[in-house]
Amino acid sequence: MNPYEYIISELKNFILDFPKTRVRYEHDNSSETHFIEVVPNDVYHLDTDYIKWESEMFDRFIELFPEQNICFISDDALVGLDKIDFELCGIQFATVYTTNIHEVSIENNRIQVNSIVIKGVSLNITTCVDSVQSSSGNIYSYYSQSNLFGEIPQSVEYPFAA
């Protein structure tokens, strides 16, 4: 059995034991890393049965495939999945995501994000970043944000990193 077959087999059993979850799998050939994303976040971070399962799965995988890497993440991780190879949803999985950005548009030095949903609650946030070059050649960005909690001043200056 190769690593892919092993992981798929384990995930099929996992989803039966954790029917309120969704798992996605991706293999990164360049680093020989197998990524497994588990949602929802509260299962990934707080469920002791899941944490025990992950630890045991990690140990078994490394014992069987010591030349490979395996990494468990959730939807709040700094890294994400680019090319999903396999996905399973439990029969009780609710499609409310921990974090989700509905719309992003980028135009000439301006980034706008609308309607961010965090833990199923829409915050209707609009964030804009405009960059300008000063006469001395420095580039600055001007940041503004409107949301449920009020308005941030329109002229806060943040210099871009070089």
pLDDT in tens, 9-50: 999 999 999 999 999 999 998 888 999 999 999 999 999 999
pLDDT at 159: 56
> For 93-104, what is the mean pLDDT?
56
Provide the residue count of the chain.
162
Whole-number Å distance between alpha carbons of 148 and 26: 36
pLDDT at 96: 54
Tell me, yes or no, if the pTM score tops 0.85.
Answer: no
> pLDDT class for 162, splitting at 50, 70, 90?
low
pLDDT at 21: 93
**Taking 80 as the threshold, does the pLDDT of residue 76 lie above it?**
yes
**Taking 60 as the threshold, does the pLDDT of residue 130 lie above it?**
no
> For 62-77, what is the mean pLDDT?
91
Pick the residue with more confidence: 154 or 5? Answer: 5
Whole-number Å distance between alpha carbons of 10 and 7: 5
Of 64-73, 76-85, 145-154, the range with the lowest mean pLDDT is 145-154
Q: At what angle do helices 48-64 and 3-17 cross, to 10 degrees?
A: 160
Whole-number Å distance between alpha carbons of 96 and 118: 9
Cβ neighbors of 16 (< 8 A, separation 6 or more) are 90
- Domains of the chain (ranges; CATH) run 3-89 (3.30.70), 99-159 (no CATH)
| Highest mean pLDDT pick, 10-14, 142-146, 149-153 | 10-14
pLDDT at 39: 92
Pick the residue with more confidence: 40 or 128? Answer: 40
Contact 101, 38 (CB under 8 A): no
Please name which of 59, 4, 63, 65 lies closest in space to residue 36, comparing C-alpha atoms.
4
Count of beta carbons in the 10 Å neighbourhood of residue 12:
12
Contact 69, 32 (CB under 8 A): yes
